[in-house]
Amino acid sequence: MARIVKSKAKSTPPPSPPPPPPPYRQASVFADPPRKNVFLLSCMDQRLLDDIVKFMNSLNLHNRYDQLALAGGAMGALKLPDPNLPVEERWSTVFFIHLEKAINVLHRPIKDVFLLDHLDCGAYKSLHPDENVQKEYAQADKPRMTELHRQELSAFAGAVNTFIHYHLKKATDEFDAARKACEKCDEHNKGDKEKKCWEQVKDQAKEKVEAWSDIRISYFVMDLLGVVTQLDLPDDGPPTLKQ
């Protein structure tokens, strides 16, 4: 029986990912809620921990999400500790390793990735690698703060999109390699009465492809009152999520 061929490619995404194809959704997550599990990236700010739980619970996601917290949320993942470092040395690698392990090793049925930032973020004021952004953010009003978050969220959503499609292609290539190997195996042993090679391995090969298929990415910003605004919707979509 042929074995599934595994690629030796690294799990980290290629550098300089393309921007995400906006929008990822045509309706808010309340109008079109997640049906499976969610992988959530949030900031580590202690003030909003209970509001994040409330937000996720309002989507009926009790015990259906994995959460990773990094200072600055998407900005931290994208640019810290230093955007000049190689990709594998940035905080983004922590995010991508956890997402890959959640899907490939823990077999979480993740079909949505949430990137959740919050306003008045201390990481923007003191850790952002651009000192001009630090100063601007410290003095910005709510709309300008939101726009600064939108820029970072959109850019990191693009990196996540690239990573997901990288693993989908990798899984698809493994699927095709296993199928071709089994065709040779079955042709060589066509007289055997045992179950055909492909029938024995196709479910396992197909499972990984399906695991990385149809994963949606949504990004949000939360104010200090816990009100969440979705930023990846079409211009005519209702952005504010009422809990």
Domain harbouring 91, CATH code: 3.40.1050.10
Residue 198 forms part of a structural domain: no
Report the number of distinct structural domains present in the chain: 1
116, 44 Cβ separation under 8 angstroms: no
- In whole angstroms, give the CA distance from residue 177 to residue 2: 10
Residue 207 forms part of a structural domain: no
pLDDT tens-digit map of 57-75: 999 999 999 999 999 999 9
What residues contact residue 174 under an 8 Å CB cut-off, 6+ apart? 4, 5, 6, 7, 205, 208
* Residues of the domain holding 225: 37-164+214-241
Residue 120 forms part of a structural domain: yes
Residue 58 forms part of a structural domain: yes
Residue 97 forms part of a structural domain: yes
224, 230 Cβ separation under 8 angstroms: no
- In whole angstroms, give the CA distance from residue 209 to residue 123: 37
**Above 60 in pLDDT, residue 90?**
yes
pLDDT tens-digit map of 36-59: 999 999 999 999 999 999 999 999
**Considering the entire predicted model, what is its pTM?**
0.84
Min mean pLDDT across 82-96, 132-146, 178-192, 196-210 is at: 178-192
Q: What is the pLDDT of residue 192?
A: 57
Residue 185 forms part of a structural domain: no
- In whole angstroms, give the CA distance from residue 213 to residue 5: 19
Residue 17 forms part of a structural domain: no
Q: What is the pLDDT of residue 124?
A: 98
Higher pLDDT, 3 or 124: 124
Residue 13 forms part of a structural domain: no
Please tell me the number of Cα atoms within 13 Å of 64 on its side-chain side.
19
